[in-house]
Amino acid sequence: MMDSATTSDGENVSEIQSLTLRVQHLSQSAEWWNAAMIWGLALAALAAVFVLIATRVVVTRASQLSTAQDELSEAKERTLQADLKEKDRQIADAQRGSAEANERATKAEQSLASAEEHAKEADAKAEGFRLEIAKANESAAKSQERAAQLESNLVKLRKEAEPRRLSGEQKERLARLLAGHPAPIGVVSKMVDTEASDFADDFDEVLKNAHWETLRIKNRISSRYGVSISFVSAAASNSVPELRMLDEALAAIGVPHQIAQFAVGDASISPAFQDRGLYLVVDEKPPVDRADH
């Protein structure tokens, strides 16, 4: 009996312990889940607060966005209207400019037509002027030709009026050319011809300065013209050195002359032309048309 009671008490104790442990385990589990629920509720509350705040921000930003979009639309509309007004102004200015340009073009065409008409009139006048100028030029050419003829005649008259004389330069050069070979020579001039006598005196002076022995003869009677040089010889020879020297010297100083043949005993001078005599003869001044002969 005792043993069976002991056994029964032991079984009861073991069951109580087991139940106690289970109660403790379940209590701990319930406490954990209770704490988890509390944290979950706290998190849910925080989430709700965040959602509320986010919703408020979204509503506010949406309102601001709408306002900004309205302002942007209004600004675009104002800009568009301003651009349209500017374009209208530019178009109006362009139209006014085009009208003014057309007006100027019309006036320019009218001016051109007037200018062309004036040009035709000017061409006609110019043609008349050209004809008058041509006539004037023709008359001027004739006048110039006449003036040239008169000038030529005047030069001839002056040349005929001027006496023949040797310039100082001609005298000096002729003396230098003849100084190396002095020789006897007769210097002859026409009778009663002052111009020929003075010209012959110039030659006589130069020949004496060149140390030539001169015989001055002033009584030649002749109808010849100009200056002649001659070597009188019965053999009719003009190839003596003194004659060639005198010929070249006169040519060098620009004195027109000729080499003449005079007969021995020619009585056109006194004393008469002598055999083997060298003579420089100054006859009457030639007329202008024969001055170079």
- Provide the domain limits for residue 246: 166-290
pLDDT band at 222 (very low <50, low <70, confident <90, very high): very high
* pLDDT surpassing 60 at residue 174: yes
Q: Report the alpha-carbon distance of residue 128 to residue 134 in Å, rounded.
A: 10
What average pLDDT score do residues 210-221 get? 98
**Domain assignment present for 86:** no
Q: Report the alpha-carbon distance of residue 280 to residue 189 in Å, rounded.
A: 9
- Which of the residue ranges 35-49, 56-70, 179-193 has the most confident prediction, judged by mean pLDDT? 179-193
Q: Report the alpha-carbon distance of residue 242 to residue 245 in Å, rounded.
A: 5
pLDDT for residue 5: 52
Strands 184-190 and 277-282: parallel
Structure-derived torsion over alpha carbons of residues 218, 223, 228, 229, reported in degrees to the nearest 10: -60
Phi first, then psi, for residue 167 (nearest 5°) are -75, 165
Question: Which tokens is 253 given?
Answer: 């100083």
**Domain assignment present for 276:** yes
pLDDT band at 53 (very low <50, low <70, confident <90, very high): confident
Structure pTM?
Answer: 0.49
Number of separate domains in the chain: 1
Q: Kindly state the greatest CA–CA separation across the chain.
A: 233
**Domain assignment present for 235:** yes
pLDDT for residue 219: 98
Domain CATH number, residue 259: 3.30.70.2390
Give the percent of the chain with pLDDT over 70: 87
Q: Report the alpha-carbon distance of residue 34 to residue 38 in Å, rounded.
A: 6
**Domain assignment present for 38:** no
**Domain assignment present for 272:** yes
**Domain assignment present for 43:** no
**Domain assignment present for 177:** yes
